[in-house]
Each structure stands twice: as structure tokens, then as C-alpha cells.
Chains A and B, each alone.
Chain A
Amino acid sequence: MKVTLKVWRQKNAKTPGEFKTYPANHVSPDMSFLEMLDVVNQELILKGEEPIAFDHDCREGICGMCSLMINGIAHGKKAVTTCQLHMRSFNDGDTITIEPWRAKPFPILKDLVVDRTSFDRIIQAGGFISASTGSAPDGNSIPVAKPDADKAMDAAACIGCAACVAACPNGSAMLFTAAKVTHLGFLPQGQTERHQRAVNMIAVHDAEGFGNCTNIGECSAVCPKEISLDTISRLNRDIVVAALKGIEPNVETAAAKAS
């Protein structure tokens, strides 16, 4: 099959970018989207042109590295990562628009590659538990109810790809933050810092420049791991309880460090 690609090309964060059109004439319907880009890049290299830069790693749908806005939908289709999207999802002769994630906390590094370290800083603010290290604890020494384990696991499925931010009309990372807060907050091991965690992670989320959630649900609709809006509800509840308890953020944000 043959498709036409409209790709965002941008040399670096400071140079303005633009769309460029490339033909992809040797596409098999069984190729993944990234393999199709590999083929196009090979042709560009042979022609002596700069290949299209894009993020990828495991290509198994579990690392969260691939990040393309395809035809206006993050990862191109509901509940899938770009690497698990196949060309059979498109029709022969289609024009496919490919853009990077766009949000202020994700500066474009080159073409379709964005810098997502702002997510790492949100994780550093509270995505951990305090536990004594050493040998592995006995199995079942801390009982976890099966429904809680299931909900924690559902939230833990988040791979941090940031499709939620890309799809959000507000550029908010609430679904990501909520997934991390919910994942730990459902388990007994996560109770010690539960409310402090929520307050700290939201403080960093806001300081990084992410937008705010208006409960639209675009995030959950495109999430490759189908994280539910319930996690955001639970994050909100943790924040309200934290406020009632008078818990203040005790984390240093990047903005505070700079000033």
C-alpha cells in the first residue's frame, strides 16, 4: 500500500518547525507504524536527507517511549501505543499527519521527539514508598484485599507515555499523576505517605506548567493502558482530605530552586 505522510519537522527547540510531506510507497499492511517510519527514514538517508527523529524503545507496548500524534489522535487509535498500531488500520492512499506531543512542559527536542523529564520530577515528588530494605519480605506478611490489589494494578499499568497530556485540551497531566497516586494509595505499603504524596505530586505538577483537569476524559479515551478517570477522582479525594488535615507540600519545585 502507499500512503502520504505529513510530518512535523523541527531542527531544535529554538528553531520554528513546519510540516513536510513525504511519500511512503513501500508499506505493508502488517508493518507497525514505527516500522513504516523506519522504511521512510531509510529512503531519506539514501537520498542524503535528514531522517525523521522519533522516540521509540521496546516496541512491545510496555515502555511508554513512543509518542506520536497521528491524525489528531494520540497514538493514532484508542487504547494502543504507536508501536502497536499497524498500517492495516489505514487505507491505501491515505494522507497521515504526524505531530509531536505538544505541551509547555514537553519542549520539542527535534522533529517528533519531546523532552518528558517533567514526568520524572512529578514521580520524584512522591512516586515512592518508605520501606525497610534487605531480604525480600515473607509472602502475604502484609495482607492486601483482592479488589484493592486489582485497582492498584490497574493504575500501575500506566507507562508514563504522556498521551494523556497530548490529548488533553488543557494540557494537563492529571491522569498520569492520578494513576501514580492511586497505584500506591490503594496498597497498605503506600499509606504512610498517602496524603503527603498527593499534595507533593500536585505541587510539582502545577509548578512544571501543566494545565488543569476539567473532567473531559480525552486522556482516558486515548490512554494505551485504559487508565480510568476514577484515579483522578481518588487523587482529588486525597487532596481534599490532605487539606482538611492541614498537610502542606514539602517538596522543592524546579521553579522554587531557580529563584
Chain B
Amino acid sequence: MTGVLTLYRTSVGKKVIMALTGFILVGFVVFHMYGNTKMYQGPEAFNAYAVGLRELGYPVFGYEHLLWVARLVLIGAVILHIWSATALTMQSHKSTGANAVSGTRRYGEQKRQTSYAAYTMRFGGIVLLLFIVYHILHLTFGMVGYGPNEFQHPNYLGGHPEYFVYNNVVVGFQKPLISGFYMLAMVFLGMHLYHGVWSMFQTLGLNSVKYTGVLRGLAILVAAAVVIGNLSFPIAVMAGIVGPAV
């Protein structure tokens, strides 16, 4: 089994790392979208969901313990995903950069024969990383995108945790610029997922001419579900469907 630990050395092995960490991250975004649909059930359900995530496994596990396990796995997955992408991109640039005369492109012209999504994985990935950083600073910490006293931090005053995520989402998404940025990021997420989900099977060697249609369909399904679900939240807030808690 120690052979698995040598995977990182080859290009294909790095891709396998990218596929496996991608699988974890796809699972996360699907669950994240599903969990957020609770905002349609009103402030109580949504705020209870935020507390419930922290009480996962309680009382067998301590408060927030399982959540921290999940967070560490996700952070690890993001780091490995970016590391393998960077290493592979550098390898590819070495191959394509040579022989192009300095200052000119590799070819005078190059006509693409395949889908657009596959070409935006790197650029889209960087956009998504910046988005994730902003998203955490915004809705988790309330450090950006809010006026004074708009963001309600969680408290433990009543002896049990109280979260106000419903208020924070509504106030946060009522600003069109911020909602616009979230929606733009979701377009990149959709393209990343469309190519990534199918690629995952290809990289792990589970794709073949028999299944490729099914796997492409699965990729479209996952990408569409996540993007449509996530786009609905800022739209619902701006349209007033999800309004301020009374």
C-alpha cells in the first residue's frame, strides 16, 4: 500500500490527487447548496441549521468537534488541489513555453476543437479561490461587505449558542454589487464543476466510451444543481422572497 504514497511523483499521480480532493470538494459544494435551501424555511430553521452543524455528533462528540474534522479535511483538500494544479501547470508551461520565440505566442493562431469549460479551469480556479476567501471574510466573519452593526455575530449569552446567519445572509445579499459578485463566481463554479466532475472519472480511469455520455450527463446535473441552487439565494433576497426577519 505504500506505493500510493509515491503517486505524487508522476504527472498522472498528481492528477489522481487532484481528482480525489476534487471529489471531496464537489461533495462539499453540493451539501453546502442543499443546506442553504433552509433559508426558504425562515429564520428559525436557518439559524437552527447553523447551530446544528456545530452540534453534529453531539453528545458523543464535543461541540464543533466533528465540524472541525470536516473543516480540516476540506482545508487539506483545497491545499492539495491547488498544489497539484500548480505543479502540473508549471510542468505544462515548460513544454509549451519552449520554441515559442520570446514575446510571441506558441502558435500564430490556434483553433479550439473542444469545449470552453476545459480551458477556463486554471483561471476559473483562481477566481474561485479569491471568491472563497471573500465568502469566508464576508458571511462567516462579517469583516467585509457590511455597514456598522449590520452583521450579527454569534453569542453564547443564554448558555447555549445563538446564530443569526439568516439576518446576515439577507443583509449581505441586499447589496447588488456583492450579490453580483457571488453570482459571477457561481458561473465559474459551474464551468469548473462541468469539466471537473467528468474529468474526475477520466483521471481515475473509470471513464470509457460506454459511460462517457452518462458521466457528462452527471457532470451537467451536478453543475446545474449547484449553480441554480446557489444563484437562487441572492436572487431571492434581492427579489424580497427571502426578506428580513420580523
Contact = CB atoms under 8 A, between A and B. Distances in A.
Nearest to A248: B6
Given A209-B98, A248-B6, 13 more contacts: A71-B109, A199-B10, A210-B95, A213-B12, A214-B118, A217-B115, A221-B113, A230-B208, A234-B205, A239-B10, A240-B7, A243-B3, A243-B4
A69 B111 CA distance: 11
A239 B13 contact: yes
Interface string A59-83: 0000000000101110000100000
What size tier do the contact residues of chain B reach?
35 or more
19 contacts: A16-B101, A71-B109, A102-B98, A206-B91, A211-B91, A211-B93, A215-B195, A215-B198, A230-B209, A233-B201, A233-B207, A233-B208, A235-B12, A236-B203, A237-B205, A244-B1, A244-B3, A247-B3, A248-B6
Interface centre among B114, B119, B195, B209, by most A CB within 10 Å? Answer: B114
A105 B95 contact: yes
Contact of B11 (A99, A103, A206, A234): A206
Interface string A176-205: 000000000000000000000001001101
Contact of B16 (A222, A240, A247): A240
A101 to B, nearest CB: 9
Contacts of B208: 230, 233-234
Interface of B: 1-4, 6-7, 10-16, 88, 91-101, 106-115, 118-119, 121, 195, 198-199, 201-209, 212
B107 A212 contact: no
B177 to A, nearest CB: 33
Contacts of A237: 204-206
Contacts of B201: 233
Nearest to A245: B3
Contacts of B115: 216-217
B97 A104 contact: yes
A210 B95 CA distance: 5
Contacts of B95: 103-105, 170-172, 209-211
Given A97-B108, A99-B108, A212-B15, A232 B202 contact: yes
B203 to A, nearest CB: 6
B110 to A, nearest CB: 4
A248 to B, nearest CB: 7
Contacts of B14: 212
Given A16-B101, A206-B11, A236 B205 contact: yes
- SS class of chain A's interface: helix, strand, loop or mixed? mixed
Contacts of A19: 108
A123 B207 CA distance: 25
A29 interface: no
A173 B211 CA distance: 24
Given A97-B108, A211-B91, A217-B118, A239 B12 contact: yes
Contact of B107 (A69, A229, A235, A236): A69
A17 interface: yes
Nearest to A171: B95
Given A99-B107, A170-B96, A205 B114 contact: no
> Which 4 A-B pairs rank lowest in CB-CB distance, beginning with the nearest?
A237-B205, A171-B95, A211-B92, A246-B3
Interface in A1-45: 6, 16-19
